[in-house]
Structure 1
Amino acid sequence: MQPNPILVIGATGKTGARVAAKLEAKGLPVRRGSRSSAIPFDWESPETWAPALRGVRAAYVTYFPDLAFPGAVEKLESLVETAKDAGVEHIVLLSGRGEHHARLGEEVVRNSGIDFTLVRAAWFAQNFSEGYLREPILAGVLPMPGGDIAEPIIDIEDIADVAVAVLTEAGHRGRLYEVTGPRLMTFAEMAEVLGQAVGRPIQHIPISFDDFHANVAAAGGDFVANVFTAIARETLDGRNAHTTDGVMQALGRPPRDFAEFATDAARAGTWPAAA
């Protein structure tokens, strides 16, 4: 008998698409939660939540674009109540490292009365290949605030592998996995590694948080820029300048190195203008 499906909220996003694909590759039934799905899910349309949750046994939950957005934690609280009413047995929440609002979201899930696993992630390597920093890399620059602050940047493939493991294996419920890459890197060091991968120099340009806001606003508007700049101001202060063993705890293997990510992304044609 086929088990009930796993709902992947944000199934068109960076982590959600990978989690859904990896679950399907295991032959497991997946309900892809997005606005364009056969059974749609839309954070802005609460009437879609109950139908999307109906009949699922577990849910992988991400909030786009970030739990720091105004109203996100309150929506998560309502979603969890809807999930509880629907009989969902297990919620896996992706949260952000060092973010106040992410911690509030974690507490909502932790206190929901539903079995849970929390995956608290470091900064995504794929921001350079699939996010707002791809265009600057194509232009040969990496403009970032934070000075010489170091981050243990993580490959999203590792996050997806952790999510799939906790959704499909015993022993992960009630756990918090704080996941990072294997080493600390400054943005200047990341630029050097990216340059080696694409075959030409990538210059790190230190900028102010105001300039960062202007860059994000040009791509995504002031509202998005306000939130992302607030997160950058909050987290690029050294609080995250340490690695953790969350990937090893969950998977029994170390996380992928940033250089491996950069090499694979370059070979896949991610930055063709810089190839």
Structure 2
Amino acid sequence: MTESITLVLGARGKTGRRVVARLNDLRRPVRAASRTTGFDLADRATWGAALDGVSAVYLVPMNEYVDQSIIPEFTATAAAAGVQRIVLLSARGVAGEAQPSQQQAERAVRESGIAWTILRAAWFAQNFSEDFFLEPLRAGELAIPAGEGREPFIDAEDIADVAVAALTQEGHTGQVYELSGPEPLSFRTAVELIAEASGREIRYTPLQVPEYVTSLTSLGFPTEMAELLAGLLDGISQGTGDRVSDGVRRALGRDARPFPDYVKAAAAAGSWSL
């Protein structure tokens, strides 16, 4: 009998590609889906081929690109196709809640009739080395509206470890894992750690929300996305992220990776080199 397939959405993203790598290491059949492979969550015509023979799905809604109202339809299609397990990457909001932008996806997964696990992640550590904070850091200044608020940045490696455990092992069905690093840090402290590890002069500058939205839109960001990101960062300035969650330990029986360890590894890999 052919072993069933795990479908990984967002397979070129920060967590998706790490999930794919781990499943390959476990010799689990995996279908890596992204726009480069012809899959588009917003395009229903691409769902059938992606779901064919699939028993488990790592679902990354990519809310900045996809209307969340499509998620219930996708989960219903997955259930009809025989999918037995869904692991959803979500984002944590205020204590005990998901970010408002993720609540519809969480509800769709819970109501799908499929065994589910939800991963509510804090801000990714890799945002500093693989995403929108990288170029400002390389330019020598991170200017954002986070004030002196703190966030326990979560390493994408930990998220991938939890996701693969939930996709391949028993005991995770019906669990909501809030995933964070072991210590809340301000963005100022994060930048200082990056500067020290990379041997570069990098400064942190708190901005007001309108200034940041203007700076992003001037770089070509859609206004809606710029306002969403600015609002999330402003929330951190007001303390919304200043708490540690125990999801990594609950799921894996170990502590999450400290942010300084991530920084040292990323610096050694040349992430912030010019």
Which TM-score bucket, shorter chain as reference? over 0.9
User: Which residue of the partner structure matches residue 73 of structure 1?
Assistant: 68
Q: CA RMSD in A?
A: 1.6
| Contact 1:180–1:245 (CA under 8 A) maintained in structure 2 | yes
Cα distance in 2 for residues equivalent to 1:168 and 1:261 = 26
Cα distance in 1 for residues equivalent to 2:2 and 2:21 = 18
Q: 1:198 offset after TM fit, Å? A: 0.5
Cα distance in 2 for residues equivalent to 1:233 and 1:207 = 9
- Is 1:133 matched up with 2:133? yes
| Percent pairwise identity | 41
User: Which residue of the partner structure matches residue 9 of structure 2?
Assistant: 9
- Is 1:151 matched up with 2:146? no
User: Which residue of the partner structure matches residue 176 of structure 1?
Assistant: 176
Q: 1:225 offset after TM fit, Å? A: 1.5
- Count of residues paired in the alignment: 268
Deviations 1:170-191 (A, max 9, x none): 1001111000000010111111
Gaps of 5+ in 1: none
Q: Normalising by the residue count of structure 2, what TM-score does the alignment of the two structures yield?
A: 0.93
Aligned CA distance change for structure 1 residues 70 and 156 (closer, same or farther; 3 Å): closer
Deviations 1:35-75 (A, max 9, x none): 222xx3202211101221121000000022x3xx4863211
Deviations 1:218-239 (A, max 9, x none): 1533343233234334555312
User: Which residue of the partner structure matches residue 96 of structure 2?
Assistant: none
Q: 1:83 offset after TM fit, Å? A: 0.4
| Contact 1:132–1:219 (CA under 8 A) maintained in structure 2 | no
| Contact 2:152–2:183 (CA under 8 A) maintained in structure 1 | yes
Amino acid in structure 2 at the alignment position of 1:261? Y
- Is 1:50 matched up with 2:51? no
Alignment of 1:110-129 (within 5 A): 110-129=110-129
Cα distance in 2 for residues equivalent to 1:258 and 1:220 = 28
Cα distance in 1 for residues equivalent to 2:264 and 2:168 = 30
Amino acid in structure 2 at the alignment position of 1:54? D
Q: 1:101 offset after TM fit, Å? A: 2.0
Alignment of 1:210-249 (within 5 A): 210-217=210-217, 218-234=219-235, 236-249=237-250
Aligned CA distance change for structure 1 residues 236 and 105 (closer, same or farther; 3 Å): farther
Cα distance in 1 for residues equivalent to 2:51 and 2:235 = 33
Amino acid in structure 1 at the alignment position of 2:23? L
Cα distance in 2 for residues equivalent to 1:238 and 1:220 = 26
Cα distance in 1 for residues equivalent to 2:159 and 2:67 = 21
| Contact 1:7–1:60 (CA under 8 A) maintained in structure 2 | yes
Amino acid in structure 1 at the alignment position of 2:76? E
Cα distance in 1 for residues equivalent to 2:236 and 2:141 = 22
User: Which residue of the partner structure matches residue 256 of structure 1?
Assistant: 257
Gaps of 5+ in 2: 94-98
| Contact 2:209–2:230 (CA under 8 A) maintained in structure 1 | yes
Cα distance in 1 for residues equivalent to 2:238 and 2:92 = 12
